[in-house]
Amino acid sequence: MTLNRKAIEVLNVSKKFGSVPAVKDISFSLDRGEILGFLGPNGAGKTTTMRLLTGFLVPDRGEILIDGINIRKNPIKTKNMLGYLPEHVPLYGEMRVSEYLDFRSCVKIKNKKLSRERISEVCKICDIEPVFKRLIRNLSKGYRQRVGLADAILSDPPVLILDEPTTGLDPNQLRQTRNLIKNLRKRHAVLISTHILSEVEAICDRALIINEGRIAANVSLDKNEKVFLECENISDGTMKNIQNLSEVTDIRRVLENSLEIYTKNNVDSRRDIFEAVVKSGAEILCMKHTKDSLEDLFMEITSKQKTQ
Amino acid sequence: MKAFRALIKKELRFYFQSPIAYIILAAFLSVTGYMFYIYAGLLSIPGTPGIISVMRFFFGGTWLFWVLLLMIPPSITMRLFSEEYKTGTIEIIKTSPVKSWHVILSKIAGGYIFFLFLWLPTFSYVLIVALFGKPDMGPVICSYIGTSLAGLMLISIGVFTSSLSKNQLVSYTLAIAVSFIFLTIGVMEDFVSDADWKAVISFLSLPNNFANFPIGIIDLESVVYFISFSWFFTLLTFISYNMKGTNE
């Protein structure tokens, strides 16, 4: 995968089912090493978009590029670069897990030795070794989900598309799967759709909120941690001093005496901000560390469009 | 090719692991066994022409053979695509790095191999006839060739109808309907006076194209007929398979 190319690039894609538009002129991109959360109410077009990306559906308009390669022009090559976990995890119930993974590795991986290595590797990663010889139809929902995930990462593809990968998992499995997805960041670009907002906040770098077939918001989640600052005598020097701090990602003046300072996630930079403000000669009246709630944003966007 | 082989193996695995396949096998063997019993019995009836060949009767000699060809291939093919659409596994297949042709041909190959497998036990009938007499092996071999060609065409029809619906019963019924047309269109010859139409009907009739095989003649025209229609329905399957993806 070439460094300067986007893992996924979606350009003005539209899709209709009969006369009903499912996806309307959407554009977005996904970088390597990034986990992008796909959020939206039921019927918003999340699954349709994912199916368009994987080549299961063909867009009416627009182009989709996987690592710079057009999916329409070179479907086999692009499908080779994708790992896909469909919603509801369809699997062949009559097969044993071992048979299923063997079949999938024959389809996806050319080298026989590598196939065997990858099967044992994904079994370890997804913790499906205890059910390796069992019939898929007898597996619990959680194990089915993990077999699906094992299949998605089997060929170690650079791009992963996971449609609601944590649905139906118990709290332990949920945590394991989230950690697993977080670890996937090192080797894959991941697009994940979910209804669970806290999940997006926990594992994603960015979230796309899709509503009624359109992208309603593109939220960078490393910007949702912020420090609210109220002080007197704010000068350009104050702003400059704060901006120079390495952990600060953005700064906004809300009122004459108030600033919202966005910082990197999981960093409490109040001490540094305090020193920077004092150094500029401003006087601090109040300082508070808060977090933008994705839930508030989601509700605001999806309900606003409903009332329009 | 590795992926193609894996796809065929997957189809065959389902035939030999599912009880339905054994039910089809049991039904097939019961009917062919019964057919053989009746025809062999004819030999002992006084006045039966001595030249009667049991195997010639067996292959297309009576309507029982055609009923078998009408009913068996759709029961083999009905699940091939319908099941994948119903369970959603088609999404796994369609998003895999495999060509559409490989998916379709693997389904046809899987169904066809199982169809041929069903005929294997009938070699024992040939063996029994050979034990008690001296059958002319030429027509017997030609009959098997004819049956396998007709089978390929009927399996292709079944795979095509299976690609049209997620309901196996619908796929089965459609396959029976289309196969029925090819098996019985010859009857229409008597109702048409125009010579050109008669020729068209005769050309389309599957039993007419099969007729020369049991007498030991491999008619190139008939071979082309079976291969062409198999190819035609494979092409229709390709169109249906790719259309389904865009409008699902």
A55 at interface of B, judged by CB pairs closer than 8 A? yes
pLDDT score recorded for residue A141: 86
Q: Which of A60-69, A132-141, A194-203 has the least mean pLDDT? A: A194-203
Instruction: Map out the domains of chain B as residue ranges.
Output: 2-247
B13 to chain A: closest CA residue: A95
B193 at interface of A, judged by CB pairs closer than 8 A? no
Name the band, by pLDDT with cuts 50, 70 and 90, for residue A206. Answer: confident
Per-position DSSP letters for B168-210, written without gaps between them: HHHHHHHHHHHHHHHHHGGGGGGG---HHHHHHHHHH-HHHHH
* pLDDT tens-place string over residues B160-207: 999 999 999 999 999 999 999 999 998 888 888 888 888 899 899 999
From chain A, the residues in CB contact with B22 under 8 A are: none
Name the band, by pLDDT with cuts 50, 70 and 90, for residue A306. Answer: low
From chain A, the residues in CB contact with B90 under 8 A are: 90
Instruction: Map out the domains of chain A as residue ranges.
Output: 8-221, 225-291
**Higher confidence at residue B51 or residue B166?**
B166
pLDDT score recorded for residue B72: 93
**Higher confidence at residue B132 or residue A116?**
A116
Residue contact A103–B89, C-beta within 8 A: no
From chain A, the residues in CB contact with B7 under 8 A are: 107
Architecture of domain A8-221: 3-Layer(aba) Sandwich (3.40)
What is the percent of chain A with per-residue pLDDT over 90, rounded to a whole number?
Answer: 38
A95 at interface of B, judged by CB pairs closer than 8 A? yes
pLDDT score recorded for residue B51: 45
CATH of domain A225-291: 3.30.70.100
Distance CA A184, CA A159 (A): 10
Q: Amino acid identity of B190?
A: D
pLDDT score recorded for residue B209: 93
Residue contact B97–A107, C-beta within 8 A: yes
Global pTM reads 0.84
Q: Which of A53, A87, A92 to mutate to test the interface with B (most CBs of B within 10 A)?
A: A92
Partner residue facing A88 (CB), from B3, B88, B94:
B88
Name the band, by pLDDT with cuts 50, 70 and 90, for residue B41. Answer: confident
HEC letters along chain A:
CCCCCCCEEEEEEEEEECCEEEEEEEEEEECCCCEEEEECCCCCCHHHHHHHHHCCCCCCEEEEEECCEECCCCHHHHHHCEEEECCCCCCCCCCEHHHHHHHHHHHHCCCHHHHHHHHHHHHHHCCCHHHCCCEHHHCCHHHHHHHHHHHHHCCCCCEEEEECCCCCCCHHHHHHHHHHHHHHCCCCEEEEECCCHHHHHHHCCEEEEEECCEEEEEEEHHHCEEEEEEEECCCHHHHHHHHCCCCEEEEEEEECCEEEEEECCCCCCHHHHHHHHHHCCCEEEEEEEEECCHHHHHHHHHHHHHHC
Residue contact B99–A57, C-beta within 8 A: no
Query: How far is the alpha carbon of B158 from chain A, nearest alpha carbon, in Å?
Result: 22
Residue contact A110–B94, C-beta within 8 A: no
Q: Which residues, in sequence order, are bridge partners of residue A23? A: A15
Query: How far is the alpha carbon of B15 from chain A, nearest alpha carbon, in Å?
Result: 11
* pLDDT tens-place string over residues A241-252: 888 888 888 888
Interface of B with A in 88-117 (CB under 8 A): 88-92, 94-99
A100 to chain B: closest CA residue: B10
Backbone angles phi, psi at A234, to 5 degrees: -75, 125
Q: How many CB atoms lie within 10 A of CB A228?
A: 14
What does DSSP assign to residue B95?
A: T
Segment B224-234 shows an average pLDDT of 97
From chain A, the residues in CB contact with B3 under 8 A are: 106-108
pLDDT score recorded for residue B163: 96
Highest mean pLDDT among A59-63, B202-206, B233-237: B233-237
Residue contact B17–A94, C-beta within 8 A: yes
Residue contact B17–A79, C-beta within 8 A: no
B243 at interface of A, judged by CB pairs closer than 8 A? no
Partner residue facing A92 (CB), from B6, B9, B89:
B89
Q: How many CB atoms lie within 10 A of CB A293?
A: 13
Distance CA A214, CA A292 (A): 23
Q: What is the largest CA-CA distance in chain A?
A: 73
